[in-house]
Amino acid sequence: MAPQRPSPLPDPEEIALQALGFLASDEERLERFLGTTGLGPDTIRESASQPGFLAAVLDHLAADEALLLTFAANHRLDPEAISIARQKLAGPGVPL
């Protein structure tokens, strides 16, 4: 029997956009995110196209373990995959 290859990691941008949708789907989560980032609801769509913004979305999740684990469970993701996605979006040399 051939060894199984690990499944490929999901696209980092896809994970971050799913995370943004997860935050936006709940008014309290969205308000907390907007308060933390200083963004308004009208600037999210424009900002979402920037890799730095998407990394910040994942940073926001990582700052709250319960939120991170809820998102990971809802999207059937390993929390480590979220961390890897954040690193890829932020670029080399950017600390976690």
Q: Rounded to whole angstroms, how far apart are CA atoms 10 and 5?
A: 15
Contact 47, 39 (CB under 8 A): yes
> Residue 86 corresponds to which tokens in the numbers above?
């954040």
pLDDT per residue over 73-83, tens digit each?
999 999 999 99
Better-scored residue on pLDDT, 42 or 93: 42
Q: Which residues contact 82 (CB under 8 A, 6 or more apart)?
A: 15, 19, 58, 61, 62, 68, 71, 72
Q: What does the block give as tokens for 39?
A: 């963004």
Q: Is 90 exceeded by the pLDDT of residue 87? A: yes
Confidence band of 7 (pLDDT split at 50, 70, 90) = low
**DSSP result, 29-40:** HHHHHHHHHT--
- Whole-prediction pTM: 0.83
Residue 67 has pLDDT above 80, yes or no: yes
Residue 28 has pLDDT above 90, yes or no: yes
Q: How confident is the model at residue 48 (pLDDT cuts 50, 70, 90)?
A: confident
- One-letter amino acid for residue 34 of the chain: L
| Every domain of the chain and the residues it spans | 12-90
Is residue 55 within 8 Å of residue 12, measured between CB atoms?
no
Is the pLDDT reported for residue 20 higher than 90? yes
Mean predicted confidence (pLDDT) in 45-55: 83
